[in-house]
Structure 1
Amino acid sequence: MRAAYLPGGSVVDLEEAADPQPGHGQVVVGMRASTICGSDLRAIYREHLGEGPEAYQGVAGGHEPAGRVLAVGEGVDRIAVGDRVVVYHISGCGQCDECRRGYQISCTSSRRAAYGWQRDGGHADLLLAEERDLLVLPDELTFLDGAVVACGFGTAYEAVRRADVCGADRVLVTGLGPVGLAVGMLAKALGSPLVVGTDPSPDRRALALRLGAVDAAVAGSDTELSDLLDDGAEVAVDCSGNGRGQLTALRHTRRWGRAALVGEGGQLTVDVSEVLIHRQLTVHGSWVTSTVRMTELLTNLVRWGLHPQDLVTDTFPLEQAAQAYRTADAGAGGKVGITWPDEG
């Protein structure tokens, strides 16, 4: 099989690798779609951070895979050959409290391994996965829908559910990359009467409006946001991963409002008394999602008639993986995907 590796320095190496064989409890998935995440760009493609959850171990890249099951090993009984599946991108120990709750993302065991980081990911023709990490993809959703759900849309859904967004809430989204766009789309599906987005990029603001992910998109000045939200949004979600964006989200959450910080990275300096305590804010740190929430999301997407693939602005075959990464790294569009033809 072919597999794309990320040696750092904005390089993609496409190499031949041995086809995987399933062991006990394992499944081989033929890839049909595998999208690129901002964390792949920040922590692997440009440079290797080399520690903690972001320790890249020279494996096939890609942690947002979806495909069709081609083979199963002994002990596999929930997933069958031919199933269309989404891969939850963290394989945890399966025994700790976090794993038992479905939040393998928070597993602290030395056995924790992320697809595309510490074990081979979806930027390859075939993927070896643990059965417990697979979610069945509803027929109404495409493989590209499933790949976008595997991390980005799942992360957005966790944030809006954690902040308990409903039809009474105006929502502010800071950072209109793919996760921010997903937050806007989901907030609207949950009934928000007004979604306002901020981003310094005019291209991303235009895309957010074109997709209908937000009702208004501005650069993010206090004057612009005050004009749109007067006393602030009931819910703010930061997807920028930037201290300035994070502070904007908090400062424009109304009194007694809720905020969720989703974007990775950034250094935040905040007057705790003035911005948080005296204004009675509830602030959530929200990291990816759980298999339970992701299953719920897949069901709701069908119910709402919502397609995460609408965020994808560019797709490439695996042999053009280097171009796919360059396009994603330019940051001018939405989600970028690597796709394969579905052979039925």
Structure 2
Amino acid sequence: MRGVHLPGNSTTEIREVPDPEPGPGQVLLAMRASTICGSDIRAIYREHAQGDPAEMYQGVVAGHEPAGEVVAVGPGTVRLQVGDRVCVYHISGCGQCDDCVRGYQISCSAPQRAAYGWQRDGGHADLIRAEERDCIVLPDFVTFLDGACVACGFGTAYEGLVRAQVSGRDGLAVVGLGPVGLAAGLLGGKLGAVPRVGVDPSPERRELALRLGAVDAAFAPEDVEAARAVVGGGAHVAVDCSGSEPGRGTAIALVRQRGRVVLIGEGNGLTVPEVSPTLIHPSITIIGSWVTSLEHMRELVARLPVWGLHPEVVVSDTFPLADAEEAYRLADAGRSGKIALVP
């Protein structure tokens, strides 16, 4: 089969690799959609991150946002059967530690932990071998492309909103209107948040967010006061999806007194020059949120038909596997919506 590898230096390679076979407790999926994540661009495509074991790329088939159809099952599988449509939670943990038992394989620290597309073969291929326990069955309403979007981006956004307890009582601000920011805005609306404002330096991404209905108004970073005015003098909840130090500062600046700031975007740096007037006196709550849990991902997949929401609306471009180089180049430009490979 074909598999996309990321050797670094902003390049891709399509290699012929052996077809995988499912072992005990595993299933084999024919890939139907596999989207590109910003972390793939940041930590693998441009250059291979070092130091953090969770970001150590092991030269495997890339892609940690897969959705596909079960075409074979291994011994000992109990839940899935050939023909099932699934998306895959993108970290496979040890299954035994407290984090795994609670569904947060992302936080598993056992040696067996392996992320699809990072330390074990991922979804940018014709086939993928997955642990049955990592797979979530898709309702008929949910397309394969929807499932791929849920597998990381929408799941990550949903977790942050759940942790901040976003509801119809809240005005919402989203900083960074890339795919995760679009997901945060769309899901925030389904949870009842109103109004919703977005902030991004890219005019193309601001326009896309407005066109998709992810936000009610969109602003450049220098227009923070105008954005605050739309949400009645400050948002109740601000979600940073940019992963940048300036973006995090913008999120803090967007919330009102006793507001909540959720940090979703990966990256370093948070400068608060005057802590007392900026955080302590207005009683700002800062929440870190890393990916999601299996429970919340299943919950999200189940709610999509109820909400009538197709996550695939954030996908601006799809490419066949053979055009992976072009797909990654477009994703790296940071001006589009979600990019997907559809084998």
TM-score higher than 0.5: yes
The letter of the residue matching 2:145 is L
Cross-structure match for 1:274: 277
- Displacement of 1:272 after TM fit? 2.4
Whole-angstrom distance in 2 between the partners of 1:50 and 1:120: 19
Deviations 1:210-241 (A, max 9, x none): 11100000002233223323431011100010
Whole-angstrom distance in 1 between the partners of 2:257 and 2:201: 26
Whole-angstrom distance in 1 between the partners of 2:227 and 2:208: 19
Which runs of 4 or more aligned residues in structure 1 lie more than 3 Å from their structure 2 counterparts after TM superposition? Answer: none
Work out which of the residue numbers 218, 240, 243 in structure 2 matches 1:241: 243
Cross-structure match for 1:55: 56
Cross-structure match for 1:27: 27
Deviations 1:278-333 (A, max 9, x none): 11122110000000000000011110000000000000010111111111111111
Cross-structure match for 1:163: 164
Deviations 1:42-91 (A, max 9, x none): 10000001332110000000000000001111110111111000000000
Cross-structure match for 1:329: 332
SS in structure 2 at match of 1:329: helix
Provide the alpha-carbon RMSD of the alignment: 0.9
Whole-angstrom distance in 2 between the partners of 1:137 and 1:308: 13
Whole-angstrom distance in 2 between the partners of 1:310 and 1:266: 30
Structure 2 matches for 1:221-260, cutoff 5 A? 221=222, 222-260=224-262
SS in structure 1 at match of 2:221: coil
Cross-structure match for 1:302: 305
Whole-angstrom distance in 2 between the partners of 1:265 and 1:50: 14
The answer to whether the 8 A contact 2:146-2:310 is kept is: yes
Cross-structure match for 1:123: 124
In the comparison of the two structures, how many residue pairs are matched? 340
The answer to whether the 8 A contact 2:31-2:126 is kept is: yes
Structure 2 matches for 1:122-161, cutoff 5 A? 122-161=123-162
SS in structure 2 at match of 1:182: helix
Q: TM-score, normalised by structure 2?
A: 0.97
Whole-angstrom distance in 2 between the partners of 1:266 and 1:215: 29
Cross-structure match for 1:320: 323
Whole-angstrom distance in 2 between the partners of 1:102 and 1:86: 15
Q: Which runs of no fewer than 5 residues in structure 2 stay unpaired?
A: none
SS in structure 2 at match of 1:314: strand
Whole-angstrom distance in 2 between the partners of 1:226 and 1:97: 40
Q: Percent identity?
A: 61
1:103 is aligned to 2:104: yes
- Displacement of 1:126 after TM fit? 0.5
- Displacement of 1:251 after TM fit? 2.0
Deviations 1:149-208 (A, max 9, x none): 000000000011111111110000000000000000001111112000000000100000
Whole-angstrom distance in 2 between the partners of 1:276 and 1:75: 52
Q: Which runs of no fewer than 5 residues in structure 1 stay unpaired?
A: none
Deviations 1:99-131 (A, max 9, x none): 000000011111110000000000010101111
The answer to whether the 8 A contact 2:196-2:231 is kept is: no
Cross-structure match for 1:287: 290
Whole-angstrom distance in 1 between the partners of 2:170 and 2:188: 9
Is 275-284 or 72-81 further displaced after alignment? 275-284
- Against the structure 1 CA distance between its residues 303 and 255, is the aligned structure 2 distance closer, same or farther, given a 3 Å change threshold? same
Structure 2 matches for 1:183-198, cutoff 5 A? 183-198=184-199
Cross-structure match for 2:78: 77
Cross-structure match for 1:112: 113
